[in-house]
């Protein structure tokens, strides 16, 4: 290599180094499209079981020192890595790669595991620069994470009481699809009923025991022999659990009441962005939520593959501008914790394709967008 050519490579490297020329996922932008706004919805990182059951061999506190339903060290690490991925993906939307409140907003479900996931994620997303160090030996800049009490949250935690929804949800347990899946999984359900030690066991108890076993399985703990192969993908129990998740947004009415308010919020901001009315004029909105937050939204958009969103999975809702008045929506789903990913492919939005004009997107899903406020819709 000649000295002149070598110097050219050095200059190119230095230029990219100073300007953080990230190359990840560049193929996702169309040649003439510019990413102008994004909403990110991710599931919290790995957690301990939400609760134990009477005959649980792993109920000892020393196995779960931080308590039930809490973020684990592995969960923190996954979220930190996801934050680094988000930094690469959205660096161009930031100001010099730094957090500013008028460009980025973070909202979390009011669970410890979600708030801590947001904290760990932000450590990877916004590494602290030397000019941001505020105390000796503490190279970490606190970034605000907003939340509301669970009982008032119908956007992320989805625990705000809605009588209309509760009635519809109860009826899904008598739906032919759910009953068929339950009948197929009857052998596994009976194993849980006979071995868990729970008296007067309910459907929600069965799901709870399965969830506890699932977390223990992911932590590489040896499950009791009676569990057999119920953790295997494709087993009748696996299909039953996946059907259970679909029941949260089984009907159009349920989609509207459980995912519609989040979708409406996203589309409202996107519309304001296209009209230069968004205030503050943010570029990135982040939600730290749950598997059900993602599953409900995907199912309401006709994009749910039936699999439970894994820990630290992430849904990207992106707004692109092409020309002066052309705005398109693209959705991407990161459902793996593999760090070095090839560029994600956009999801194929039913009735619109992988690149959907914003106005057409709103028309397609108008039936799942609430018209009134939460109280009126739930009355």
Residues annotated as catalytic (active site), given as ranges: 44, 291
Strands 34-43, 284-289: pairing is: parallel
Q: What is residue 329's three-state secondary structure? A: strand
Q: Tell which residue, 135, 137, 140, has the closest CA to residue 119.
A: 140
d(CA 25, CA 85): 10
| Backbone phi, psi, residue 42, to 5° | -125, 155
d(CA 321, CA 329): 9
DSSP state of 352: T
State how far Cα 91 lies from the chain centre. Answer: 20
d(CA 141, CA 119): 11
Residue 104's alpha-carbon distances to 22, 248, 331, in angstroms, are 19, 30, 19
Contact 99, 118 (CB under 8 A): no
d(CA 117, CA 27): 28
């Amino acid at each position: 290599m000649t000295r002149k050519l070598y110097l050219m490579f050095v200059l190119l490297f230095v230029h990219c180094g100073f300007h953080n020329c990230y190359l990840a996922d560049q193929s996702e932008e169309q040649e003439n499209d510019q990413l102008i706004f994004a909403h990110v919805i991710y599931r919290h990182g790995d957690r301990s079981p939400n609760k134990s059951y009477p005959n649980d061999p792993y109920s000892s506190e020393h196995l779960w020192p931080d308590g039930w339903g809490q973020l684990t060290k592995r969960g923190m690490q996954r979220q930190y890595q996801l934050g680094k991925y988000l930094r690469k993906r959205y660096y161009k939307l930031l100001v010099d790669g730094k957090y500013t409140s008028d460009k980025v907003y973070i909202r979390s479900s009011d669970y410890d595991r979600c708030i801590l996931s947001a904290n760990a994620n932000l450590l990877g997303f916004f590494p602290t620069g030397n000019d941001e160090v505020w105390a000796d030996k503490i190279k970490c800049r606190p970034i605000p994470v907003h939340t509301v009490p669970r009982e008032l949250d119908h956007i992320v935690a989805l625990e705000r009481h809605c009588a209309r929804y509760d009635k519809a949800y109860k009826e899904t347990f008598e739906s032919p699809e759910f009953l068929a899946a339950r009948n197929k999984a009857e052998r596994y359900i009976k194993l849980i009923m006979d071995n868990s030690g729970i008296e007067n066991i309910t459907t929600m108890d069965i799901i709870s025991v399965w969830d506890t076993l699932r977390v223990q399985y992911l932590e590489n703990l040896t499950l009791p022999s009676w569990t057999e192969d119920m953790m295997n993908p494709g087993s009748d129990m696996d299909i039953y659990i996946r059907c259970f998740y679909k029941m949260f947004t089984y009907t159009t009415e349920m989609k509207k009441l459980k995912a519609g308010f989040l979708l409406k919020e996203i589309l409202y901001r996107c519309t304001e962005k296209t009209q230069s009315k968004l205030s503050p004029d943010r570029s990135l909105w982040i939600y730290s939520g749950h598997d059900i937050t993602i599953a409900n939204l995907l199912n309401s958009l006709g994009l749910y593959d039936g699999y439970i969103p894994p820990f630290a999975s992430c849904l990207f809702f992106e707004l692109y501008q092409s020309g002066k008045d052309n705005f398109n929506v693209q959705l991407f789903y990161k459902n793996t914790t593999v760090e070095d990913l090839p560029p994600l492919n956009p999801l194929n939005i039913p009735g619109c394709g992988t690149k959907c004009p914003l106005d057409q997107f709103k028309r397609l899903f108008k039936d799942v967008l609430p018209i009134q406020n939460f109280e009126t819709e739930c009355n």
